[in-house]
Each structure stands twice: as C-alpha cells, then as structure tokens.
C-alpha cells in the first residue's frame, strides 16, 4: 500500500504550488478529487522509486480569526490522523505567525515524522531569515522555493526515507479485494447488506451516511474475498465538511488498493459526469471494473430498456467499452449474485497470464497480415511479444522502430488481445519496445 503524506499549514504559504510541482511527475488521480473544495487536492507522486499519495489540506477563507484558527486546527488534526508523514509548511516572508505556533503546538505531540518546510527561500538573505523557525520547537527545517523547485530534492530524500516500508505481506491471506464504489446514495451499503444477508451497514436516504471504507470478508457459494464498502465520492463543489473530504480520500485509497471496483450506478440518475469520474479513476489505476446499475426495479421499462441503457453507458466510457454491465436491485436482491459472479470473472481476467510462446504463435501471424502502417517512409517490424510480470495485463511488443507505432495501431493490438484472450472488465496496456 502506498503511504499518505499531508501538507499542512495556514493559507497562502505555497502548499498548492508545492503540491502541483510534485504531481506534475505523474497525472493527478482524478478531476473529481483534485481540488475537492476550492483549494484541497489529492494526488500521487513518487521519489527514488517510492510511491506515495499526497494531500494538500488547504486553508479556509472565513471571516473571523477565531473561526479561522479553529477550522485550521480541525483540518490539521484530521490530516495528522490519516497521514503517515506530515509536511508543515511556513512562509519565510511573513515569519513566525500566531497561527504557525498553534499548528506547531499540535504537531509537537505527534508520533509521526513531521517535516518543517520553510517556503519562498530563493536567496541567501532569506535562508538567514529562516533561522527564526527554530522557535517552533520542531527541530531542523528544510528551505525550499515551491515556485522553482529549489531545495525540494533534499526534502523528498528525507521524506521517503522516513516513510514506513510498504508491507506487501500485510494481508494475512491473499484474498481478492472488491471495492464497492459510486456516488452517495446510489445503494452501495444496501447492496452489501443484501449480499451478506444482514444489516451490517447503516442505510438511510441521506447521502453520505457511510463515512469510511469498511472491509467485510465474504465466504459463500464457493467465493471468498474482501468486500470494501466506501463512502460515496461527490462532486468537488459539493464537499464542504472536513469529515466528508477525508471520506472521499479514503474511498480513493480503497479504489487504489482494490483488485476489482464494483461501480454502483443509480438507474434514476443515470451515468452522469460524477460517475464517469469514478469510472476513469478506477481505469487509470488499472483496476478491474464491473458496472452495477442499481434500483432497476424502480425504472419504467420495456423490452428495449436494458439494451438502450447499456448502449448509453458504453458511449460514455468509450474507448474502454469492454466492461460488464449488470442490472440489479439491492432492495429485491435481483441479480446481486450475478454481480458477484461477474466480479470474480473480472478478477480472474485481471490475473490471467499467457505464455510467451502462445502469444507469439497466435499474434505474430495476425500482425504479419496487418502490419503497422509505414510512418515517414519507415516500416515497423514487430518481432516478439511477451506479457510483463505485473498485477494487471500489460504486454510488450518488441520492434525495430517503437516510436513510429501510432495509438490507433496500439488500440488494434489491444482489441485483438481482448478478442482472443477475454480481458473483459480489465484495462489492458500495450507497450512498444526496442528489440
């Protein structure tokens, strides 16, 4: 599991600039979560081969100083609780402020690594001014300039060294993890309650009842896996309270560390923009995906309704349309076991390994009959294919001129792989490599 690092501090010290600089190394997780309120962000980055998730906790813009400080304290406490390490950012231009002292007081009690970072230090004079931050009682500090990246290397070296080592065998048993995700009030908890046959989770018609990602071990009808109920992911403009922000963050983390995402869609609301954001978040994280259209019993339908709704969803998720769609009702338990069977199939597809000899025997003749189009007068010859040893299907095609293979031909190869080997519900990556 990747570690979480929280950037805390009062507003306008340069937290977001620093966050953006790090996230540029990798694509931010999803539009829906990047900037969950006006200036909060959640993203992923890596340094020296160590990957970690980053939260920009942001600051509030509230009238009274007293409310301001109380809100900042509350947010810092939540960040401390969730994160594995904390970056406390201060501003050399304004020096030590009362609010910095309040945050420092909280951080001095913490038993997690805390890095005091003095920002906007872009010359020798400012480096001398930074000495006053020793008064915060947090020990040594790091001087950086978020705007141009100066000093960030030393900080990140120390940060990744202090992060707990990822424990791959942390799971007592290697069970598949299925995350039940979707927007609030789509029926995620009702689906799990129907599946396990007991009211394990509180279900109300108030959106946002579930606050945390909760694991349930499922062992019935020959299936065994961990089922994770997640808090709903809402549109960034709708997320107001801190508690809900961290619920969203935990949902994102649940998606990152799942094998298959069961995306629950409210049939009455349709496959709207927010549901699409969750879908693409799972796809970018290369997870298996099953779309469950819930509350299907409440929809007025005829013999064409299912086909039309399926077509509508596939238009929204193109070009990744090879995704199973199951129409369910958590209330009447209609097709809920079909949903689980499908999720297990997708999990098996994701774990599928194909022998190199079989890949070459099957695909090379197909490639020979339809080779990559010539580009700039150069002819590309694909000589060899192998599946990479990764948790999800990734294939390397070795050729003489990998740079001249365009995206449409890569999609053609992906479609052939799907057609022959059945990777339904699983993102497939195709890489061209120099032979």
- 217-245: per-residue pLDDT in tens? 777 767 888 887 775 555 555 544 444 45
More confident of the two residues 332 and 54 = 332
Q: 59: annotated binding-site residue?
A: yes
Return all residues near 332 (Cβ < 8 A) that are at least 6 apart: 297
CA distance 106 to 101: 9
Q: 148: annotated binding-site residue?
A: no
Residues 32-36, mean pLDDT to the nearest whole number: 33
- Is the pLDDT at 44 greater than 80? The verdict is no
Q: Which CATH code of 3.90.226.10, 3.20.20.70, 3.60.15.10, 3.30.300.20 fits the domain covering 356-434?
A: 3.30.300.20
CA nearest to 306, candidates 330, 325, 333, 289: 325
Same fold yes or no, 3-162 and 356-434: no
Residue 394 and residue 429 in contact, taking contact as beta carbons nearer than 8 Å: yes
Q: 56: annotated binding-site residue?
A: yes
Per-residue pLDDT band for 190 (boundaries 50, 70, 90) equals: confident
Q: 205: annotated binding-site residue?
A: no
Least confident of 8-17, 146-155, 177-186: 8-17
The pLDDT value given to residue 18: 86
**417: number of Cβ within 10 Å:** 21
Q: 119: annotated binding-site residue?
A: yes
Q: 232: annotated binding-site residue?
A: yes
Q: 11: annotated binding-site residue?
A: yes
Q: 186: annotated binding-site residue?
A: yes
Q: 43: annotated binding-site residue?
A: no
Per-residue pLDDT band for 285 (boundaries 50, 70, 90) equals: confident
Per-residue pLDDT band for 338 (boundaries 50, 70, 90) equals: very high
Q: Which CATH superfamily is domain 3-162 in?
A: P-loop containing nucleotide triphosphate hydrolases (3.40.50.300)
This prediction has a pTM of 0.61
Sorted by where each begins, the domain ranges of the chain are 3-162, 177-351, 356-434
CA distance 190 to 200: 9
**Sign for the pseudo-dihedral over CA of 388, 393, 394, 399:** positive
Could you tell me which CATH class the domain 177-351 is placed in?
alpha beta
The pLDDT value given to residue 51: 80
Q: 49: annotated binding-site residue?
A: no
Q: 280: annotated binding-site residue?
A: no
Q: 352: annotated binding-site residue?
A: no
């Amino acid at each position: 599991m990747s570690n979480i690092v929280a950037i805390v501090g009062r507003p306008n010290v340069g937290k977001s600039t620093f966050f953006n600089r790090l996230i540029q190394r990798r694509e931010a997780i999803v539009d829906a979560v990047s900037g969950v309120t006006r200036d909060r962000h959640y993203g992923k980055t890596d340094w020296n081969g160590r990957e970690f998730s980053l939260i920009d906790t942001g600051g509030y813009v509230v009238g009274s100083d007293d409310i301001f400080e109380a809100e900042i304290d509350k947010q810092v406490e939540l960040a401390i609780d969730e994160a594995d390490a904390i970056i406390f950012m201060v501003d050399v231009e304004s020096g030590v402020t009362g609010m910095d002292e309040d945050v420092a007081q909280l951080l001095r009690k913490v038993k997690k690594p805390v890095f005091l970072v003095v920002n906007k230090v872009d010359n020798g004079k400012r480096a001398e001014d930074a000495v006053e931050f020793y008064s915060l009682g947090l020990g040594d500090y790091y001087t950086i300039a978020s705007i141009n990246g100066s000093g960030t290397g030393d900080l990140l070296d120390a940060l990744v060294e202090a992060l707990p080592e990822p424990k791959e065998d942390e799971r007592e048993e290697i069970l598949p993890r299925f995350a039940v995700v979707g927007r609030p009030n789509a029926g995620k908890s009702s689906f799990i309650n129907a599946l396990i046959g007991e009211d394990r989770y509180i279900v109300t018609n108030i959106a946002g009842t579930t606050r945390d990602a909760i694991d349930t071990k499922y062992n019935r009808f020959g299936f065994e896996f961990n089922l994770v109920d997640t808090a709903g992911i809402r549109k960034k403009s709708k997320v107001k309270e801190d508690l809900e922000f961290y619920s969203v963050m935990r949902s994102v983390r649940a998606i990152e560390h799942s094998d298959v995402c069961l995306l629950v869609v409210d049939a009455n609301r349709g496959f709207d923009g927010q549901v699409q954001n969750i879908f693409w978040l799972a796809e970018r994280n290369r997870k298996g995906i099953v779309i469950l259209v819930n509350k299907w019993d409440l929809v007025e339908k005829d013999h064409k309704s299912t086909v039309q709704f399926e077509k509508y969803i596939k238009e929204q998720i193109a070009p990744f349309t090879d995704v199973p769609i199951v129409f369910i009702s958590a209330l009447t338990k209609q097709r809920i076991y079909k949903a689980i069977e499908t999720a297990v199939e997708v999990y098996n597809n994701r774990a599928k390994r194909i022998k190199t000899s079989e890949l070459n025997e099957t695909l090379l003749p197909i490639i020979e009959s339809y080779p990559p189009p010539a580009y700039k007068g150069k002819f590309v010859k694909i000589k060899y294919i192998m599946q990479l040893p990764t948790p999800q299907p990734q294939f390397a095609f070795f050729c003489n001129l990998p740079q001249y293979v365009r995206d449409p031909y890569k999609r053609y190869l992906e479609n052939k792989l799907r057609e022959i080997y059945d990777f339904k519900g699983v993102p497939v990556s195709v890489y061209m490599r120099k032979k």
